[in-house]
Amino acid sequence: MSFFTQLAAQYIDGEWKPGEGPWEIIDVDPYTGERLAVISAATADQVDQAYRAAERAQRAWAKVNPYTRRLVFERALRIIEDREEEITEAIIAELGGTRLKAAFELSLTKDMLREATHLALRAEGRILPSPIDGKENREYRLPVGVVGVISPFNFPLFLAMKSVAPALALGNGVVLKPHQHSPIIGGTLIAWLLEEAGLPKGLLNVVVTDIAEIGDAFIEHPVPKVISFTGSEKVGRHVAGVAAGHLKRAVLELGGNSAIIVLDDADLDYAVDAAVFSRFAHQGQVCMAANRVLVDRSVEKEFTERFVAKVASLKVGDPRDPETHLGPLINTSQAETIGTQVEQALAEGATALLQGSVEGTMVAPYVLGGLAPDSAILGTEIFGPVVLVVPFDGEEEAVRIANDTPFGLSGAVHTGDIERGVRLAQRVETGMIHVNDGTIHDEPIVAFGGEKASGVGRLNGDATIEAFTTTKWISIQHGRSRFPF
């Protein structure tokens, strides 16, 4: 089966059909430039059809025994395991991800499907006491109804599944809008996978389209009660504003500008390895990536020499080659943005400790040092293979620099003293931070999300139950109430 041939369509109410829009979304291999798929864009009317289908199907699905619901996700997991090599090849082709990246994404996706099987059984209600004699208070936890999911292009299979599978497991219907650069991996592949696993028709719908065609119809539509968005801060702010205007709940997983902090007592070789992976995984197109490497000045020279040498050894090239570390960025526009950001930083006085290059979608890594404290790039999310090395004098300055950004998603601290690392980590304004590890982590039962401009709300585990369910209070008066008149 060729995913790009078979799945280049809309998936609405259990049927594969063409989009009715007047233009086409072209899916392209970012390394070769090969056209992978052509999909006619869905219209606002088709978005309405998708939401209405999910609404109809959800009513029956919510009544299905959760032990039965979980079987869908168990079967989906087995399908991924059976088709893993084929899916790996598709991830490499559509996203320009290396084999290592594809394996990482598939591992996360499988973990999320395993978690979905547990979540199906965890929407627990409560019986609460009352100050009124004879009254019984029951608090039920119910699905919200329908969830709209908007997924990004960098880890589209995992980041879409992170909302789609739990929302369905908890009894909801879902409409998924994948990014235009990942319509198969982040969209229709998921529809096919869950269809094959026995998900009832209509519950999951996938609309491949663009705001140029549908405007804000995906968010404004009256059916979805929750919008789960993963993407840039700029678009996230817009999603939040539109959702709030329609009294919808929004779960926003946005950008980052993470710092990995290397203290004076850190294991430098280990810190170098952690920093290189934290910055250059998937060419730096990761929201949790360590844009900034903060190093105590007492070990700056030694650390930087080892760090630059390791970055220089990374192989840039064909993502299909198992030895490649860095493949292409998602498109030439993204690569040109990286080039512009670097040029501006150099013009402001930064030094290229390692001089990279930009050619088409391929960006060889840059390591920049000597940045002025007010350099614009220090406060910016860099979605590509550029890293900033910043020295500091002591923990107070390290914390101040780490917090000097509008974002607060992830981070890391390296030290020979675990509790020292924990104390410092508690002072960094970020939703997640890791002691003696990298900045890129996502575990299915641990709340994931950011502070400041990095998002609103959390996903994973109990946080996912809060995101995709609601509570209902039903009281029962045993005996007769007394009323004042």
Catalytic member of 213, 287, 381, 395: 287
pLDDT at 322: 95
pLDDT at 73: 98
Q: Cα separation of 172 and 142, whole Å?
A: 9
Q: What is the pLDDT along the chain (485 residues), one digit of tens a residue?
A: 589 999 999 999 999 999 999 999 999 999 999 999 999 999 999 999 999 999 999 999 999 999 999 999 999 999 999 999 999 999 999 999 999 999 999 999 999 999 999 999 999 999 999 999 999 999 999 999 999 999 999 999 999 999 999 999 999 999 999 999 999 999 999 999 999 999 999 999 999 999 999 999 999 999 999 999 999 999 999 999 999 999 999 999 999 999 999 999 999 999 999 999 999 999 999 999 999 999 999 999 999 999 999 999 999 999 999 999 999 999 999 999 999 999 999 999 999 999 999 999 999 999 999 999 999 999 999 999 999 999 999 999 999 999 999 999 999 999 999 999 999 999 999 999 999 999 999 999 999 999 999 999 999 999 999 999 999 999 999 999 989 99
Sequence-separated (6 or more) residues with CB below 8 Å from residue 407: 233, 254, 255, 256, 257, 258, 381, 450, 452, 453, 454
3-state helix, strand, coil in the chain (%, to 5): 40, 25, 35
Q: Cα separation of 315 and 335, whole Å?
A: 17
What domains lie within the chain, and their CATH numbers?
3-254+454-473 (3.40.605.10), 258-435 (3.40.309.10)
Whether 253 is a known active-site residue: answer: yes
pLDDT at 100: 95
Whether 302 is a known active-site residue: answer: no
Is-contact 132 481, C-beta < 8 A?
yes
DSSP letter at 187 equals: I
Q: Which two tokens stand for residue 484?
A: 């004042």
Amino acid in the structure at residue 172: N
Sequence-separated (6 or more) residues with CB below 8 Å from residue 462: 122, 447
pLDDT at 1: 57
State the angle between helix axes of 156-169 and 189-196 in degrees (0 to 180), rounded to the nearest 10.
40
Is-contact 391 297, C-beta < 8 A?
yes
Q: 112: closest CA among 152, 159, 145?
A: 159
Q: Cα separation of 122 and 461, whole Å?
A: 9
Phi, psi angle pair for 187, to nearest 5°: -140, -85
Q: Cα separation of 81 and 463, whole Å?
A: 27
| Bridge partner list, 292 | 259, 388
Catalytic member of 105, 115, 213, 253: 253
Compute how many other C-beta atoms are within 10 angstroms of the C-beta atom of residue 164.
27
Q: Cα separation of 47 and 16, whole Å?
A: 14
Q: Cα separation of 3 and 202, whole Å?
A: 21
Q: Residues 303, 307, 309, CA angle at the centre, nearest 5°?
A: 125
Look at strands 10-12 and 15-17 and give their pairing: antiparallel
Amino acid in the structure at residue 195: E
